[in-house]
C-alpha cells in the first residue's frame, strides 16, 4: 500500500493529529513539483498514514484529486486543510512561504522558468478521509470482518491443525458464522476488535487478529490471532499484531495488553515473545491450563 506523507518532523505529527481528529481532509502541493521529483500524480485509493518516524498510524482514503489554478483555490480548500486558516488569503500566504522555504519554487523555476506562484500556477488538491477501522502494514490490510468472509473464515475454523489448541476444536459452519457475527458486533460497539488479515498482493483472507475482552479476564484487553495453515511461518501474525499494538498503545491509549494460550502452543508463545510480551502467570480456566503473557504500554516499541 502506498504511503501518505505530510511534511516532515514535528509538523508531520501535528498534521497527522489533525487528520485523525477529522479536522484535516485536504492537502495541496504544487503541480510542477511532481515533474521535478519525477513522481506520478496521486490517485484515489487507500494510503498508509505515516508519523515523523515513518511508522504507520493508520489508513486514509483519498477520495478525489483535483488540479486547480492557484487563483481558483477557495475558502473551502483553506478550511479543509485543517490548520486554522481563516480564509484563502491566509492559506495562500502560508503555503507560498512554505513552498519557498522547502525549495519547491526554486526547483520549479529551474525546471520550467518563470514565477510559479502567480494565479495561473497549478496546484494539486487531494481530498481524503481518515479510515479509523483500517490498519495497514507493508504486506497486509487489517479491516473489519464482513459477511463475505464467511466461507474462508469457516474453512479456517474447520481445519483441525488451525484449531488444535482451542478448547472448541474445529468449528462447524453454524458455529463459525456465529463467531464471525459476534465479533462484528463487538467491533462495532467498542471501536476495536478482531479484524480480517488480508494480503495486499492478492486480497487473500489469511485469518484474523486484533483486540478482544476475553471472558476470563474482562478487566484486560487481549490481543490474539488465527491464521490459515498456508500462511504460517511467514511472519504475518507478528506483522499484523504489531499494527494492533501500535493502535492499542497509541490512539487507544490502553495501559496494557495480554495474550492467552495453552503451554503447548509453542508457535503462539514464540510470537508473543517476539512482540515483547513476557509471562505474567500460569493459570487454570474451565479445567484448562493456560499461560498469560502481558505487555505494558511503557514497554519499548514492538
Task: Give the Cβ contact number of residue 289 at 10 Å.
Answer: 11
Domain of 165, in residue numbers: 136-296
Give the pLDDT of residue 102.
72
For residues 301 and 69, the model is more confident at 69
262 and 209 belong to one structural domain: yes
Same-domain check for residues 148 and 291: yes
On whether both 126 and 146 belong to a single domain, the answer is no
Residue 284 has pLDDT above 60, yes or no: yes
pLDDT given for residue 71 in this prediction: 96
pLDDT for 116 beyond 60? no
Q: Are 72 and 126 contained in the same domain?
A: yes
Q: How confident is the model at residue 299 (pLDDT cuts 50, 70, 90)?
A: low
- Specify the pLDDT at position 100: 86
Q: What is the predicted pLDDT for the residue at 282?
A: 98
Residues 149 and 291 in one domain: yes
Task: Return the bridge partners of 140, or none.
Answer: 199
Cell triple for residue 238?
507478528
Q: What mean pLDDT is predicted for residues 256-261?
A: 98
Query: Confidence class of residue 182 from pLDDT cuts 50, 70 and 90?
Result: very high
What pLDDT score was predicted for residue 25?
Answer: 98
pLDDT at 210 over 80: yes
- The predicted pLDDT at position 199 comes to 98
> Are residue 40 and residue 109 in the same domain, yes or no?
yes
266-274 and 236-249 helices, crossing angle to 10°? 50
Confidence tier at 298 by pLDDT (50, 70, 90)? confident
DSSP 253-295: --SEEEEEE-TT-HHHHHHHHHTT-EEEEEEEETTEEEEEEEE
Q: Is residue 301 part of a domain?
A: no
Please tell me the total count of domains within the chain: 2
- Pick the closest to residue 184 from 133, 238, 231, 220 (CA basis): 133
- What is the model's pLDDT at position 7? 85
pLDDT at 107 over 70: no
pLDDT value at position 163? Answer: 97
Give residue-wise pLDDT tens across range 122-180: 999 999 999 999 999 999 999 999 999 999 999 999 999 999 999 899 999 999 999 99
Among 114, 131, 148, give the residue marking a domain's end: 131
Structure confidence at residue 185 as a pLDDT band (50, 70, 90): very high
Average pLDDT over residues 42-70: 96
Summarised one tens digit per residue, pLDDT across range 186-197 is: 999 998 999 999
The residue that leads in pLDDT, 57 or 7, is: 57
Last residue of a domain, one of 98, 131, 164: 131
Boundary-marking domain end, from 131, 160, 179:
131
pLDDT, averaged across the chain:
93
Same domain, 117 and 169: no
Is residue 53 within 8 A of residue 15, CB to CB? The reply is: no
* Whole-structure pTM value: 0.87
Amino acid at each position: 500500500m502506498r504511503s501518505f506523507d505530510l511534511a516532515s518532523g514535528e509538523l508531520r505529527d501535528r498534521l497527522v493529529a489533525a487528520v485523525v481528529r477529522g479536522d484535516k481532509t485536504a492537502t495541496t502541493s504544487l503541480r510542477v513539483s511532481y515533474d521535478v521529483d519525477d513522481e506520478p500524480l496521486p490517485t484515489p485509493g487507500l494510503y498508509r498514514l505515516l508519523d515523523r518516524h515513518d511508522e504507520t498510524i493508520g489508513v486514509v482514503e483519498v477520495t478525489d484529486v483535483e488540479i486547480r489554478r492557484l487563483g481558483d483555490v477557495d475558502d473551502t480548500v483553506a478550511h479543509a486543510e485543517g490548520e486554522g486558516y481563516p480564509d484563502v488569503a491566509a492559506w495562500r500566504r502560508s503555503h507560498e512561504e512554505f513552498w519557498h522555504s522547502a525549495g519547491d519554487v526554486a526547483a520549479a523555476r529551474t525546471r520550467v522558468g518563470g514565477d510559479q506562484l502567480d494565479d495561473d500556477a497549478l496546484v494539486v488538491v487531494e481530498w481524503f478521509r481518515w479510515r479509523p477501522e483500517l490498519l495497514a502494514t507493508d504486506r497486509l490490510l487489517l479491516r473489519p470482518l464482513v459477511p463475505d468472509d464467511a466461507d474462508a473464515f469457516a474453512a479456517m475454523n474447520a481445519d483441525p491443525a488451525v484449531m488444535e489448541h482451542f478448547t472448541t476444536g474445529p468449528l462447524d459452519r453454524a458455529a463459525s458464522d456465529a463467531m464471525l457475527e459476534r465479533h462484528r458486533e463487538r467491533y462495532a460497539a467498542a471501536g476495536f476488535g478482531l479484524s480480517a488479515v488480508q494480503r495486499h498482493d492478492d486480497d487473500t483472507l489469511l485469518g484474523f487478529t486484533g483486540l478482544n475482552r476475553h471472558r476470563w479476564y474482562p478487566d484486560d484487553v487481549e490481543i490474539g490471532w488465527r491464521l490459515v495453515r498456508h500462511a504460517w511461518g511467514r511472519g504475518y501474525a507478528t506483522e499484523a499484531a504489531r499494527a494492533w499494538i501500535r493502535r492499542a498503545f497509541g490512539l487507544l491509549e490502553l495501559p496494557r495488553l495480554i495474550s492467552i494460550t495453552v503451554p503447548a502452543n509453542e508457535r503462539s508463545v514464540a510470537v508473543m515473545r517476539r512482540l515483547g510480551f513476557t509471562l505474567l502467570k500460569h493459570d487454570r480456566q474451565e479445567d484448562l491450563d493456560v499461560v498469560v503473557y502481558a505487555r505494558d504500554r511503557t514497554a519499548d516499541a514492538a
